[in-house]
Amino acid sequence: MLEHIQAQTTHARRGKLKNAFRYGVDFLLTDLTEARPWPVSRNRFNLWSLWDRQHGGARGTGRGVQWFRDELHRRGFPLERAKLVLLTQPSFLWFHFNPVSFWIALIDDEPCAFVAEVNNTFGHRHCYFCAHDDFRPISGMETLTAKKLMHVSPFQQVQGEYSFRFLYSKLAIKIRITYENGDQGVVATLTGSRRPATSASLVWAALRRPAGAARVLALIHVQAAILFLKRAPFMKTPAPPKLAMSESPAYREERL
């Protein structure tokens, strides 16, 4: 299974100062073991590349899927029944940057745990582990919460909490992350249909949205400039959290 998720992402700022944007992004859903079309490689330079060192652990020195397997094992997850996959934006040529990737543990094709691997533009990473205590399936009607611990935007404080809503079906993926800090915050979504990755779809993605991850980073800085011009309060970058991963303490049922 290697799937090309031609997705849409939206961000909408909450509070008195409004700002919102939407753009297309290309994600791959992969178990990192299968055969791949020629435009994408694992741990090798190509038009698109998946690098173990970029995921699962510290940025640039990750251990890939083995890291995720070890984290699940430490928590008593039934690995003998699981399939482990990664939802991520691949590197484009030599450039890599991912605001967020998701490690997903599936049992009978249902998500029973996931890790939101969050990266900021200052070189920091923090992971949020989300699952029920008994690792039962996470439905699209449930919201799992986690305390915000890492600085992501210079226009938001390191306070408040994230709420994750995760819909994973045979046809589509729909993720909603809400950050709330009093009356301030951000609502971010990622939605896309699940389709097999093909040589044609990957080449077309490179032509349609050239530069891949570099384009995403440029768009982030464009939005930062817009907020600066709107006189949004600017926060200095604090030190990253000492913990590499934190866990979702609770969930509540909501309709997606």
Closest CA to 256 of 144, 112, 129: 144
Biggest alpha carbon–alpha carbon distance for the chain: 53
Q: For 34-90, what is each residue's pLDDT tens digit?
A: 778 999 999 999 999 999 999 999 999 999 999 999 999 999 999 999 999 999 999
Beta bridge partner(s), residue 220: none
State pTM to two decimals: 0.93
CA distance 100 to 88: 7
Residue 60 carries which side chain, given as an amino acid letter?
G
* Three-class secondary structure of residue 109 per DSSP: coil
Q: For 140-164, what is each residue's pLDDT tens digit?
A: 889 999 999 999 988 888 999 999 9
CA distance 128 to 245: 6
Q: For 181-223, what is each residue's pLDDT tens digit?
A: 998 899 999 999 999 999 999 999 999 988 887 888 888 888 8
